[in-house]
Amino acid sequence: MKLPLLLLLLLPLLAQAQTPPLETRRYAIEVAGLRVGTMTATRQLPTPTSPETISTLISDVQVDILFYHLVIYYKVTNYMRGGQLRLSTVDARTNQGNFSSRTEWKGDHYDIVADQYKHRYRATETKPIRYTVTDMFFAEPPAGQSRAFAEYFGDFFGVKPGKPGRYQATRAGREDEYQYQDGQLITLIKKNPLKNFVIRLL
């Protein structure tokens, strides 16, 4: 077999071998028992030629209940290298306007800028960030993990285990409940004074 022909046959296999594995989790978002949107978490694992783990979390919500109208689309993108967050971006589009957050490692500290709806935050963090809210979608928190970086807010949620497979994440009066089965997130309840948002694995 001639070499050019052999290369043509092998190219699809080589391309497939170099494509980083992709994990995907899909969820339905419910309010008062009604499906109002979707949430999708993806994680692209590193390879020898691409050393970063790239995680995304996309939420797409539209709620119309009586006089309550809400439209939110946001995308979180995290870049991790060597177990440390290097860059996180959040782009949000809502019926109240467009917003963003950015957390970037500068060699010896993070620059954190969050400009979200009714939330404006600036901070510097010197300790490496190794665990985020997006990570909670892919596996049960490790033993002893007491906080998770909330990319949207640019701040940390406290993480506290409860009953087996259940964790409370709290920050500034907000409370989320994560429920796992066999290490996989199956339900997330985002508690809200009006109506809870329930996120269920599809």
Best CA proximity match to 148, nearest among 137, 138, 159: 159
> How many beta carbons lie within 10 A of that of residue 152, not counting itself?
19
Is pLDDT above 70 for 145? yes
pLDDT band for position 195 (cuts 50, 70, 90): confident
**Residues 106-128: what's their mean pLDDT?**
97
pLDDT at 32: 87
Question: What average pLDDT score do residues 143-148 get?
Answer: 96
In the chain, where are the structural domains located? Answer: 20-201
User: Is the distance from CB of 178 to CB of 190 less than 8 angstroms?
Assistant: no
pLDDT exceeds 90 at position 110? yes
Please give the Cα distance from 88 to 190 (Å, whole number): 22
CB of 138 closer than 8 Å to CB of 42: no
Mean pLDDT computed over every residue of the chain: 91
Q: What is the DSSP letter of 173?
A: T
DSSP secondary structure, 27-88, as one string: EEEEETTEEEEEEEEEEEPPBTTB--EEEEEEEEEEEEETTEEEEEEEEEEEEEETTEEEEE
Summarize the confidence of residues 62-81 as an average pLDDT: 87
CB 189 within 8 A of CB 164: no
